[in-house]
């Protein structure tokens, strides 16, 4: 006996839950299926607990500014790492409860705590029952990648899945992979007093694609813990059950290795092969990024499982897009948001809009601002960093930016919103820049662009006729 629904949503993470609440606008006849641990990647092991840990580390690290400010006693500060981790878990539990209270806690037989398997493109095996769905939303998320050969190191290997469950941190940790998560947690551990070594076979860190911002970022972060870049890490056993991490000619013995080599979409045991879904070379189903439809199947993919933009606000948007298309005919194409990627290290690393390597160097001009002389940054004792804004040479249109900057997360929003509105350098210079704020750093980059683009006007660019 089949249960018939209009829409089946597989996965109750951020994308699946947002899809569910959007589907609900259009039909009551749906199911949400998830056989795993409840709570989103974001709340359980991602954005939220990492931000909580970062905040503790930043607060402790701030003592470096105390002496010059006339504050005594900074050298007497210390962190109780088990207590800090407990605090992180306390906050995490609040966030997980918030997520569940707003969603699954109120669902009855619409929620099924089982795994799903595709029998046909519209027929799912879910535990003992079969569900026939008009449309299906695939939102099964992702999990941390750990090379199979490293599984022998057992508990010596940390990923975000178990990091926040640790009772304590050991004295020596290697962080392998210095993208967003590796950089955030590596810097956090270093600031909490752990001896951290960072390793990445790439030479760009924190998801950067701009070589100059990357150079500034490497220089800044490298002062806090060593970064070994451009060589793959190899792991081997050392004395006392410790692990030797080797990268090129360098090696170090550590107690644990935090593996942050990216995340793999959860696509196993779903039966997608059996129904004829085609996969890209990166191992994700072929789908349209504007409709989220997988091939011509009545299946829509949303969230981290699609291997693109693995961040919460994009997962939520994809959940909405998938839900709309799963409840409407014909399928429609949606615009995507201006890309915004933030690494919440200190200073923040941010990429906005068009990525530097996708731009033709001849057709753009880059406006730069170093944060060294910026008044407010100096007052905050955070006058370190570099902002680069890319504008089209032809018309001054702002296309993208990359930065390592104090309050970069906020500058990133400003820039993303302006880029989404297709504004140009002159438009931005007419906006109010309060003094003294970090936003004046953006103003500095815009003035540099004005100079390099040789934008002239009889009237000063900051002004506009009534």
Contact set for a copy of itself, span 251-290 (CB under 8 A): 290
DSSP symbols for 199-244: EESSS--TT---HHHHHHHHHHHHTTS-EEESS--EEEE-GGG-EE
| Closer CB to a copy of itself, 30 or 324, in the complex | 324
Element (H, E) at 160: helix 160-163
Torsion angle, CA of 68/74/75/79, rounded to 10 degrees?
A: -140
Cα–Cα distance measured from residue 325 to residue 6, given in angstroms and rounded to the nearest whole number = 12
Residue 15 half-sphere exposure, CB side, CA atoms within 13 Å?
29
Cis peptide before 436 (omega within 30 of 0): yes
Buried b / exposed e across 365-380, counting CB within 10 Å, b at 16+? Answer: bbbbbbbeebebbeee
* Interface region with a copy of itself, contact rule CB under 8 A, candidates 202-210, 276-284, 321-329, 397-405: 321-329
Angle, CA 21 vertex, CA 18 and CA 26 arms, to 5°: 130
String marking each residue 223-242 x if it binds a copy of itself according to CB under 8 A:
--------------------
369 binds a copy of itself (CB under 8 A): no
Contact set for a copy of itself, span 397-456 (CB under 8 A): 407, 409-410, 412-414, 416-418, 420-421, 430-439
215 binds a copy of itself (CB under 8 A): no
Cα–Cα distance measured from residue 362 to residue 182, given in angstroms and rounded to the nearest whole number = 34
* Interface region with a copy of itself, contact rule CB under 8 A, candidates 104-112, 155-163, 240-248, 372-380: 372-380
Q: What would you report as the CA-atom Rg of the chain, rounded to the nearest whole angstrom?
A: 24
Contact set for a copy of itself, span 323-352 (CB under 8 A): 323-324, 332-335, 337-338, 340, 342
193 binds a copy of itself (CB under 8 A): no
Q: Cβ 246 to a copy of itself, closest distance in Å?
A: 33
297 binds a copy of itself (CB under 8 A): no
Q: Cβ 411 to a copy of itself, closest distance in Å?
A: 8
| Closer CB to a copy of itself, 265 or 412, in the complex | 412
Contact set for a copy of itself, span 23-42 (CB under 8 A): 25, 42
Q: How many binding residues for a copy of itself (CB under 8 A)?
A: 90
Q: Cβ 83 to a copy of itself, closest distance in Å?
A: 3
Q: Cβ 99 to a copy of itself, closest distance in Å?
A: 10
End-to-end distance of the chain based on CA atoms, in angstroms?
A: 71
Cα–Cα distance measured from residue 218 to residue 46, given in angstroms and rounded to the nearest whole number = 23
User: Which segments of 102-179 does DSSP mark as H helices, in order?
Assistant: 160-163
Contact set for a copy of itself, span 299-318 (CB under 8 A): 311-313, 316-317
Q: Which residue in the set 4, 29, 97, 98 belongs to the binding site for a copy of itself (CB under 8 A)? A: 98
| Closer CB to a copy of itself, 81 or 136, in the complex | 81
52 binds a copy of itself (CB under 8 A): yes
Cα–Cα distance measured from residue 31 to residue 227, given in angstroms and rounded to the nearest whole number = 47
Q: Which residue in the set 237, 373, 393, 422 belongs to the binding site for a copy of itself (CB under 8 A)? A: 373
| Closer CB to a copy of itself, 226 or 375, in the complex | 375
Buried b / exposed e across 61-79, counting CB within 10 Å, b at 16+? Answer: bbeeeeeeeeeeeeeeeee
| Closer CB to a copy of itself, 71 or 152, in the complex | 71
| Closer CB to a copy of itself, 202 or 378, in the complex | 378
Q: Cβ 346 to a copy of itself, closest distance in Å?
A: 13
Q: Rounded to the nearest 10 degrees, what angle do helices 180-191 and 47-61 cross at?
A: 40
């Amino acid at each position: 006996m089949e249960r018939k629904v209009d829409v089946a949503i597989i996965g109750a993470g951020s994308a699946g839950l947002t899809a569910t609440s959007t589907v609900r606008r259009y039909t009551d006849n749906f199911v949400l299926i998830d056989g795993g641990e409840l709570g989103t990647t974001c709340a359980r092991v991602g954005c939220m607990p990492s931000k909580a840990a970062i905040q503790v580390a930043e607060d402790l690290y701030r003592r470096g500014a105390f002496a010059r400010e006339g504050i005594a006693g900074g050298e007497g500060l210390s962190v109780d790492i088990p207590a800090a981790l407990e605090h992180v878990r306390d906050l995490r539990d609040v966030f997980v409860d918030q997520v569940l209270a707003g969603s699954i806690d109120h669902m009855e037989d619409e929620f099924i705590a089982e795994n799903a398997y595709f029998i046909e493109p519209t027929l799912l095996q879910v535990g003992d029952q079969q569900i026939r769905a008009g449309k299906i939303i695939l939102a099964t998320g992702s999990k941390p990648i750990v090379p199979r050969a490293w599984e022998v190191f057992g508990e010596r290997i940390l990923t975000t899945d178990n990091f926040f469950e640790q009772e304590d941190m050991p004295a020596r940790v290697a962080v392998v992979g210095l993208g967003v998560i590796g950089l955030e947690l590596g810097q956090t551990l270093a600031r909490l007093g752990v001896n951290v070594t960072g390793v990445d076979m790439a030479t760009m860190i924190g998801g950067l694609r701009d070589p100059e911002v990357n150079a500034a970022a490497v220089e800044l972060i490298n002062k806090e813990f060593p970064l070994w870049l451009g060589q793959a890490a190899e792991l081997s056993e050392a004395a006392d059950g410790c692990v030797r991490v080797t990268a090129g000619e360098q090696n170090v013995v550590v107690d644990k290795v935090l593996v942050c080599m990216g995340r793999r979409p959860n696509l196993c045991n779903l039966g997608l092969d059996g129904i004829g879904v085609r996969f890209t070379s990166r191992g994700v189903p072929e789908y349209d990024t504007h409709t989220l439809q997988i091939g011509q199947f009545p299946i829509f993919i949303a969230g981290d499982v699609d291997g693109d933009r693995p961040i919460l606000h994009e997962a939520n948007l994809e959940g909405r897009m998938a839900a709309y298309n799963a409840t409407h005919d014909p399928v429609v194409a949606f615009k995507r948001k201006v890309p915004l990627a933030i690494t919440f290290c200190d200073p923040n690393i941010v990429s906005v809009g068009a990525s530097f390597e996708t731009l033709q160097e001849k057709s753009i001009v880059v406006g730069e601002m170093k944060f060294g002389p910026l008044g407010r940054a100096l007052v905050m004792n955070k006058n370190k960093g570099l902002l680069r804004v890319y504008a089209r040479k032809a018309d001054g249109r702002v296309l993208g930016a990359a930065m390592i900057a104090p309050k970069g997360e906020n500058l990133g929003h400003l820039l993303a919103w302006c880029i989404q509105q297709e504004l140009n350098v002159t438009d931005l210079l007419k906006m109010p820049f309060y003094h003294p704020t970090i936003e004046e750093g953006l103003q500095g980059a815009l003035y540099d662009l004005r100079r390099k683009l040789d934008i002239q006007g009889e009237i000063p660019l900051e002004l506009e006729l009534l």
